[in-house]
Amino acid sequence: MTARILDGNAIRNQIYAELEPQIAELGRAGIRPGLAAVLVGHNPASEVYVKSKIAACEKLGLRSWLFTPAESVSTAEMLQLIADLNRRDDVDGILVQLPLPRQVDARRVLEAVDPSKDVDGFHPINLGRLVRGGAGLVACTPLGVMEILRRSGIATEGVPAVVLGRSDIVGKPMALLLMHANATVTICHSKTRDLQQIARRSDLIIAAMGRTAMVTPEWIRTGATVIDVGINRITDPAEASQIFAKFPQRLEQFKQKGSALVGDVHPDAAEIAGAITPVPGGVGPLTIAMLMSNTIKAARLRRAQAAGATAASPASGR
């Protein structure tokens, strides 16, 4: 048995095609959605992620700005920058790339972002709306996973699902979205007992623990859907030889580059799963696609709220 590969790049392209007429409609109303990205210091991985997000804005014709405070930036300076971006009417979405330096209070910075511009879906108000199942901006990666499932025809209603990981960015919102889609959800983490057995009882596995190739075929029920959220870079030849033992082409690519990206799911899992996302090319493209979608949604909602506030205000001169 070989799993069906859930191609994130193809699904991303579908979403972009659907966003283009929305962008054009906003343009006819004189609105060009804009995303401000804040990247602190020179973390190579973060730089790659942010560049890909800016490139996506350019591809779709959205405005984008990149702010690059120094590694030594203080919490107060970051809060001032966020306050400035909150006030700018041409900025619809604010993205603060994590991780931030140790001296910066990341929670204070993220909570300072105007919830209506919180395109990452990290603000407590947006998280609260998600808990209640209300309208709001939702974390991009879990939202992207739901798009993969929906567009691939993978059922969630009544399905036993396990989320491996309980982070605020992926695990918790992922579990909430699956519950709203009527899945029966178990959340697991590093302290969970019998983790492998819990996963094996599930028809849907979302792996988001940040542990390289942790989910092996023994974890997976035959025919289950496996969504791999992990992105881990390996550089150890011995580790690469073990992980890619059945994939000589990938092993050769590793030898040429000296590194490779591997998810939280072992590549051999494709022998057991019914459907699986690759790494790279699975969930990653959807994270960026949903960031674009959230930016457009924020632009539309902000203008609608402003129009509603204007309509509700007393007429001047009375």
- State how beta strands 93-96 and 160-164 pair: unpaired
Q: What is the pLDDT of residue 316?
A: 43
Q: Within 10 A of 54 (CB to CB), how many other CB atoms are there?
A: 18
- Closest to 265 (Cα-Cα) out of 221, 213, 227: 213
In CATH, which of 3.40.50.150, 3.40.50.10860, 3.30.70.2860, 3.30.413.10 is domain 28-119?
3.40.50.10860
Give pairs for 76-79: CB < 8 Å, separation 24+.
78/38, 78/40, 78/104, 78/109, 79/108, 79/109, 79/112
3-state secondary structure of 124: helix
* List of the chain residues with pLDDT < 70: 1, 307-318
- Closest to 34 (Cα-Cα) out of 82, 79, 95, 80: 95
* Nearest-angstrom CA–CA distance, 187 and 191: 11
Q: What is the pLDDT of residue 313?
A: 58
Token readout for 132 is 């209640």
Token readout for 217 is 């075929």
CA 287 to chain centre: 4
* Nearest-angstrom CA–CA distance, 228 and 55: 24
* Nearest-angstrom CA–CA distance, 287 and 55: 14
* Nearest-angstrom CA–CA distance, 46 and 297: 24
Which residues in the chain are classed under CATH 3.40.50.720? 140-284
Q: What is the pLDDT of residue 1?
A: 67
Residue corresponding to tokens 């178990």: 186
Residues forming the active site: 53, 97, 120
DSSP state of 310: H
Sign for the pseudo-dihedral over CA of 38, 42, 43, 49 = positive
Q: What is the pLDDT of residue 277?
A: 98
Peptide bond into 280 cis (omega under 30): yes
Which residues in the chain are classed under CATH 3.40.50.10860? 28-119
**CATH superfamily entry for domain 140-284:** NAD(P)-binding Rossmann-like Domain (3.40.50.720)
* Nearest-angstrom CA–CA distance, 97 and 78: 12
Q: Where are the beta strands (DSSP E) in the chain?
A: 4-5, 34-38, 63-67, 93-96, 160-164, 184-188, 204-207, 225-228, 232-234, 260-262, 275-276
Q: What is the pLDDT of residue 45?
A: 81
- Taking only the tens place, the pLDDT of each residue in 210-227 is 999 999 999 999 999 999
